[in-house]
Structure 1
Amino acid sequence: MLGGVAGLLLSGGVAHAETFDVSAEQASCTVYRQADAGASTPSLVGVRHFIGAPGATLLIAVPPSAAIPIATTRAALSPAGPAIGQVEVAKTAAGAQVFLVPVDPRGGGPLTGRATLSGLSTTPAEIDFDQVGRMIRAGEGCERGLLANWGFGGDAAMRVARLPVPAKAGWPGIDDVPQRDMDSVNGRFTTVAWRVGPDARITDCRVVETSGLARLDTLGCAVLRRKLSYREAARDAQGRPIEAVMVRRIRWGPID
């Protein structure tokens, strides 16, 4: 954990604080909110934001009393909001299931307002997307720290209002692994980060999380440069082309 981050809110004219804990994990920053350990209904317990990616991943805790078979989960928002990606189970804690629910405003509504999230449990989870936004902002210091640790400068990705637009978008994967390494890739990941300049060119690709196998790490940036290119640079809030830092976690093989 990177310590508590306090945000000041106004409710009925009375100021009160909400406290978040922030953790850097796998090229992402996760912001956890204080939650009632004995809650009997599903609740938002955290928000994960990957550097250089839109939207966020909601961490929804479902208590045993509200659990349904995992195979039947079909998450949906009401009213309709941001697009929902593939739901995964992160872990179980004190008997509760924790679901990872990716939400992306590019495929639907913005991350604002309130909605109910159904399909994960017998009782819908109440989601306050304004709070989700505050949690993402609470993690910005964590994001700046990761970028600085990777040598990209603390504000490199923070001013991006619109991501760069790919001309071709292919990603490294198991098809790029030499035959001699096929028996060594199970469960291995390499995380790479790269700059996309105001001219939309890729520069400065580097490994920021190693797979533990140097040959795979070297392959990551080499294949990415061959398979990926951009036709438009990132834009700031005024529509001007700016540099962006993008991040990709490459899964080289199946997880054991």
Structure 2
Amino acid sequence: MNIIETFELTKKFNSLAAVDHVSFSVKEGEIFGFLGPNGAGKTTTIKMLTTLLNPTEGTAKVCGFDIIKNRNEVRQSIGVVFQEPALDTELTGKENLDFHARMYGLDRERRVSRIEEVLRIVDLQDKKDVLVKYYSGGMKRRLEIARGLMHFPRVLFLDEPTLGLDAQTRRAIWEYIKKMNKEEKTTIFLTTHYMDEADFLCDRVAIIDHGRIIILDTIPKLKNAIGNDVITLSCS
């Protein structure tokens, strides 16, 4: 079953096509990678799929809901972790999660149990009562991921989840992403410009450049198809 489907999805800013007639599908339960350089159209695509930007042309469905006609239903069905942190640093980790859960209407009993569940997934149980301003960069990113899971989303969008982190922390985040995909059965839509990240995490990968998808397949098939060839992605 396809949980995300796009149909000629396009976003133009004046004469620039940031996303140019993109069509693809994401299977339920998979980790799907959107790989490309800065300025390729990755974040713009996520913003359209999460209803934060209206497409110029085309449309998409997320969890069976049209991103234009059924915006509220889409938002109830997804979690999002963007590049820029959106945590309240004057609250504890637990308080950040509780606030997010209240916004989605979870009752007290469900909030309490869910907070413990997501903190366990990202190994932050022992830091839940610490103010977020004292968290390291990796801890903040893990808390962002936990927050994205709080309301039981069917799809979690991760926009460059390890950007700016050191190699050891990046690898730890990868393990947490794999863990939540396995334990929560959550579909993951992941953007990245790291080849090793896509290789480690993703079931399938779409390579995007200048707003267009160049190729889409599983990692093994991409490796076999490309072989010793070189794909060059130019930065805008």
Question: Would you tell me which structure has more helix in proportion to its own residues?
Answer: 2
Q: Which has the higher contact order (CA 8 A, sep 6+)?
A: 2
| Structure showing greater Rg | 1
Alignment TM-score, normalising by the size of structure 2: 0.26
